[in-house]
Structures are given as structure tokens and as C-alpha cells.
Amino acid sequence: MPALASRFAPARLLTICGLVLTLAATMFAGSVVSPNASHASALVSAERAGKAADWAKTRQGSPYRYGAMGPRKFDCSGLTRWAYKRVGKNLPHSSSAQARHVKRVKRSNARRGDLVFFSSRGGIYHVAIYAGHNRIWHAPYSGTRVRRDKIWSGNVFFGRVR
């Protein structure tokens, strides 16, 4: 009888695998995205991003404090996180982690409310909210306050929040 059992073991295994795959497909059917589906709906609208920029502007003059996320004191990623939270989007609290929550866009396609990431030697060291016209809202560094500045570096990339 052991020879008979070993002969049917692969068939049983395939049947079990088929059942598991069917169950998994049923459970995740609503979340599967076809390869040709547009991801545009997953990105924040221009109106919502613009409102995030407006929220950042309301914090003008707030002091910088490392690790602070508002509402009265901010670091750079704390400001972007706080502003986007006001429009219903949750972002992590670090510039490099926030970079993983955006879709990169060309500078020529950047719009108010997109995030601007500053990099050096392959690492991201600062994030800000694009205010339009080559300007940003940001919490620069210790001893300063939230303000609007010109983009001072060519080592930046723009990202649209997902």
C-alpha cells in the first residue's frame, strides 16, 4: 500500500495547491490591478495638493525643531507630513521614507503641493512642499522658522504624493 500512496501524493499536492490558489484569487480579486490599469487615481489631485501647500503656508514663522511634527514646531518632514495630514493623506516622518510614497514627476510637470526632495551623495537630506514658480515651503534647519524660499539646488527631484 505505501507504493500506492506515494504514487498519488503528487496528485494530492497539486489538488491542494489548486485549492489554495483559488481561495487566494477569490480573496484578493478586488485588489488585483491589471497591468494596463491607470495609476493616476492613486495620486493626490491637484486641488488636494494645492490645499496641502496652503496648509504649509499657514505655518509660516513656526520654529524649526528636529523631530517635531507640529502644529507649532516642525522639522522638514514634519511640516510636509502635517500639511498632507490636513488633506487626509498620511505620510511617514522622514524625508527618505516620504520619497517612497511619491511618484516622481519631471520638474516641468511639477505643480503646487508636490514634494521636493533635496539629495546629496545619493541620499535625501531635505523635503519641502512646492509653492510654484521655483519656490518651496519648508522648515529649513535649527534656528530658523518655516518660510518660503527659492529652490537653491539643482540636486532635487519632485514627487507627487500617492
Q: Catalytic residue numbers?
A: 76, 126, 138
| Distance between CA atoms of residues 87 and 47, nearest Å | 10
Rg, the chain, Cα only: 23
The DSSP annotation for 96-135 comes to HHHHTTEEEE-GGG--TT-EEEEEETTEEEEEEEEEETTE
Q: Are 146 and 64 in contact (CB under 8 A)?
A: yes
